[in-house]
Amino acid sequence: MDLEYSAEHQAFRDEVREFLEGWPLKGDEARLPQEEQEQIFRKRGIEAGYVYRAVPKQYGGSEQPQDAIKDRIIVEEFYAAGAPRDLMSQGAGLMVPTLLEFGTEEQKERWIPPALTGEANWCQGYSEPGSGSDLASLQCQARLDGDEWVLNGQKIWTSSAQRAHMMFGLFRSEPDAKKHEGITYLLVPMDAEGIEVRPLREMSGGYEFNEVFFDDVRVPVENTVGKRGQGWQISRATLVHERNLIGNPNSMREAFSDLLDLARSRKINGVPANEDPGMRRRIAEIEGYVQTSQLSNMRQFTAANKGKMLEVMRPMMMNKVAGTDIMQMIMKCAYDLLGGDGILAPTESELDTWGRQTTSTGWVLQYVFSMGPAIAGGASNIQRNIIGERGYGLPRDLRRES
């Protein structure tokens, strides 16, 4: 593992830091709503070549030459500055890379630019009431009628469906085919007639997940991504991007930094919590996991740059599960530091703008939500099966064949 950067890349890091002096925005721009400020800075990042580097300019990106080390430096510096970077939404983070790989030229030009800016929100239509971990058993149907698909059925646990303009989803187009075949990947307008979104209220008091019902919903056949019946293969590419988002070590370091600030501001037996021996041991243990995750990521990164991906396939398979567990440790520790404040309910504003909230009630919300990623993007128990079977050659788990 090589932890040193070349002189050329150190100079590039200085350039990035100089650009980041423009964040937070100043003057009149600083008085704009946060969302508008982030859009302004993100556009400047595109113009400077630091944001959406892998996306061609014709689709709204900055189209920079591939350079994994520069990409990493940008991510490190943007995270350190707390600056707006590539949107990690379902549209920009999941649908865009999938369309770049499998979409038609028309689909790319039409759907990618508004997804990058956040003007068009997307949701993911994968899980169904009887098809979660066994996703390939999905039953939501797509029947071809002339030049339109007709959709009927139900999706569930659909994050952000209440705000989404579009859905990328999987639908069974050949009911008699084997369960991994006959699935088609479609782009569905959420305002199409026949779609009903019902919220699923969470224990936090808000709702981010939904049920989505389809009743003879018609979708143009040109909204098919890839070929008819090949949706399973395409969905696997999307899932890889989703798991990478969930297992991001920079997010862990960011959350751990917030945890340290919280420990400094709270007291245990009259002294700052970060001076309490028991809490210090607990925080040190968590930092060990965070640091290990970052070093493992560096090892994977170095191997990938040397064309030795096979050497790090096992740790790469563990990123999502490890990331989920570590984030839960951080949030549980923060929740315990809140003491009596842990019974406070998140505010309506926090529920509506879920994210990195470091108020007492914001921590409560983050703690409650930290339990969800163990299910999202492939449940942890399924991921452990995959690691055991494919990574270590253990006997296969019993499976139902249909």
Helix (H, G, I), strand (E, B) or coil at 231: helix
| Residue 30, burial from CB neighbour count under 10 angstroms (0-12, 13-18, 19+) | exposed
CA distance 177 to 182: 5
* Under 8 Å between Cβ of 89 and 165: no
**Residues 242, 311, 350, 401: which is the catalytic one?**
242
Distances from the Cα of 315 to the Cα of 199, 252, 396, angstroms: 37, 17, 20
Q: How far is CA 262 from the centre of its chain?
A: 25
User: Token pair for residue 180?
Assistant: 């991994």
Q: Is the peptide bond before 277 cis (omega within 30 degrees of 0)?
A: no
* Under 8 Å between Cβ of 123 and 164: yes
Amino acid identity at 249: P
Radius of gyration of the chain (CA): 22
- 101 catalytic per annotation: no
Query: Other CB atoms closer than 10 Å to residue 24's CB: what's the count?
Result: 12
Distances from the Cα of 194 to the Cα of 63, 82, 190, 197, 210, angstroms: 39, 41, 9, 10, 16
- Catalytic amino acids? 242
